Amino acid sequence: MLIQNGNVVFLNEVKKADIRTEGRYVTQIADSLTPLAGEEVIDATSRYVFPGLIDMHVHLREPGFEGKEDIASGSAAAVKGGFTQICCMPNTNPVTDNAVVVSYIINRAKEVNLCKVRPIGAITAGENGEALAAIGKMKQAGAVALSDDGKPVMNSQIMRLAMEYASDFDLICLSHCEDKNLLNGGFVNEGRNSTITGLKGISRAVEDIMIAREICLAQALDLPVHICHVSTYSGVQMIRDAKKNGVKVTAESCPHYVALTDDIILSFDTNTKVNPPVREEKDRQAIIAGIADGTIDCIVTDHAPHKATDKNVEYAQAAFGISGLETSFALCYTYLAEPGVLTLPELARRMSYNPAKILHLEGGEIAEGKVADLMIADLSKEWTIDSASFVSKGKNTPFNGYTVRGAVECTIVDGKVKYSA
Ligand code: DOR
Ligand code: ZN
Ligand code: ZN
């Protein structure tokens, strides 16, 4: 395949170039390449060619909750969103805490054959927080990381053992930071808006205490840890300081923490309900600054699809989560790249290169000899988010009706077109 005339987003620059792929790989990059006989040609004139996006935090719901999403619908949403590789969280039913479920997900994803699906194994059996899961067997079966996401690992000794055991298998623990006891039934940010609405608040400390603990463990053990979905200004501060002190901590945040504040809960729309909750303007600004200076390494979706019946209930009863795969790139472009917070190479690092590095995955950059996982976008195109057009089963988004810029036009996985607008 030959991709001609595109603006190619390399690690440190954007440059017009032609890209040739053969089989699974990028084999040639040059100012101008002539099509070979029989070669498929994609005209990328005035378009941008990115490394395929990598989302290290999604919920695909299969096995067990296929009414919310399954590997086929989630993969379709991923390639539509420009993702060539996604890592799926283990809060399935049964929980992905053993090699059989890991293998099942890998095999099903291969049948679906859209994007690469990398399972994340549970830290503890059943995500119960009590005993370690079958970590070695899951690694052998193809798990790329460990997490009890959806739940915290409250027992610090279990978390310590998990980090030690994980490192023996060259895996990293991804921590859902939430002090279950301090949570006390909260479900929105604790502050002025929780007071106004009477909705029960979650203080920043619920998240920050666990971020602090993970930093302490990483420092004490000199082992890596990754902080999931950072939502607080104070969490960003702690992670920045820890990194300065040489602690092996990495972190992610999500488009909703970049684009929204808890003013949206005044609508009582349950599509705004997510865990951790969207917070205040000072948190939003700190998340943006953290993404800009690299304190926050990655932008993930935390794609959490739910059924209409999970959301069409009283706010307190509604499920937590946002369906994010089909809006992430445009939101990140609109809120981070277009305003100049991130250059395009920096955006590509947050959404592709850094997750690949943290989890030791292939992909993440466009270069000769690298895998041909690519995404082509029209950055001038403006469009309006409409959840009815989602291919994900989860139509739950607080961004319905938002006008954004940046449209994914083509997603290429292993040198094959898997999505074309
Ligand atoms: O909003 C969320 N949804 N946060 C989580 O931690 C879990 C996730 C889910 O699985 O729905
Ligand atoms: Zn989580
Ligand atoms: Zn999650």
The confidence score (pLDDT) of residue 204 equals 98
In a domain, 396, yes or no: no
In a domain, 388, yes or no: no
The Cα 370–Cα 248 span in angstroms is 27
The confidence score (pLDDT) of residue 274 equals 98
**For ligand 1, atom 9: residue with the closest CA:** 304
pLDDT tens per residue, range 314-343 = 999 999 999 999 999 999 999 999 999 999
The confidence score (pLDDT) of residue 41 equals 98
Expressed as residue numbers, the domain containing 178 is 53-364
% of the chain at pLDDT higher than 70 = 100
pLDDT tens per residue, range 269-310 = 999 999 999 999 999 999 999 999 999 999 999 999 999 999
pLDDT tens per residue, range 65-78 = 999 999 999 999 99
Per-residue HEC secondary structure of the chain comes to: CEEEEEEEECCCCEEEEEEEEECCEEEEEECCCCCCCCCCEEECCCCEEEECEEEEEECCCCCCCCCCCCHHHHHHHHHHCCEEEEEECCCCCCCCCCHHHHHHHHHHHHHHCCCEEEEEECCEHHHCCCCECCHHHHHHHCCCEEECCCCCCCCHHHHHHHHHHHHHCCCCEEECCCCHHHHCCCCEECCHHHHHHCCCEECHHHHHHHHHHHHHHHHHHCCCEEECCCCCHHHHHHHHHHHHCCCCEEEEECHHHHHCCHHHHHHCCHHHCCCCCCCCHHHHHHHHHHHHHCCCCEECCCECCCCHHHHCCCHHHCCCCECCCCCHHHHHHHHHHCCCCCCHHHHHHHHHHHHHHHHCCCCCCCCCCCECCEEEEEEEEEEECCHHHCCCCCCCCCCCCCEEEEEEEEEEECCEEEEEC
Give 50's strand partners. 375
What global pTM score does this model have? 0.98
The confidence score (pLDDT) of residue 359 equals 98
pLDDT band at 42 (very low <50, low <70, confident <90, very high): very high
**Residues in contact with ligand 1 (CB, 6 Å cut-off):** 59, 91, 149-150, 176, 274-275, 304, 320-321
pLDDT tens per residue, range 164-208 = 999 999 999 999 999 999 999 999 999 999 999 999 999 999 999
Pick the ligand that lies closest to the CA of residue 304. Answer: 1
Q: Which residues, other chains included, contact 33 with Cβ-Cβ below 8 Å and sequence gap of 6+?
A: 2, 4, 18, 20
Nearest-atom index, ligand 1, CA of 89:
10
Say how many Å lie between the CA of residue 412 and the centre of ligand 1: 29
pLDDT band at 209 (very low <50, low <70, confident <90, very high): very high
Say how many Å lie between the CA of residue 57 and the centre of ligand 3: 6
In a domain, 140, yes or no: yes
The Cα 139–Cα 119 span in angstroms is 10
Give the environment of ion ligand 3: residues with CB less than 5 A: 149, 302
CATH label of the domain that carries residue 164: 3.20.20.140
The confidence score (pLDDT) of residue 402 equals 98
In a domain, 126, yes or no: yes
- For residue 89, the one-letter residue type is M
- For residue 335, the one-letter residue type is Y
Best mutation site among 93, 275, 279, 303 for ligand 1, i.e. most ligand atoms within 8 A of its Cβ?
A: 275
Pick the ligand that lies closest to the CA of residue 321. Answer: 1
Structural domains counted in the chain: 1
The confidence score (pLDDT) of residue 44 equals 98
Best mutation site among 58, 61, 149 for ligand 1, i.e. most ligand atoms within 8 A of its Cβ?
A: 149
**For ligand 1, atom 4: residue with the closest CA:** 275
In a domain, 64, yes or no: yes
The confidence score (pLDDT) of residue 292 equals 98
pLDDT band at 62 (very low <50, low <70, confident <90, very high): very high
In a domain, 213, yes or no: yes
In a domain, 420, yes or no: no
In a domain, 270, yes or no: yes
Active site residues: 302
pLDDT band at 245 (very low <50, low <70, confident <90, very high): very high
The confidence score (pLDDT) of residue 178 equals 98
Mean pLDDT of 232-251: 99
Best mutation site among 57, 59, 177 for ligand 1, i.e. most ligand atoms within 8 A of its Cβ?
A: 59
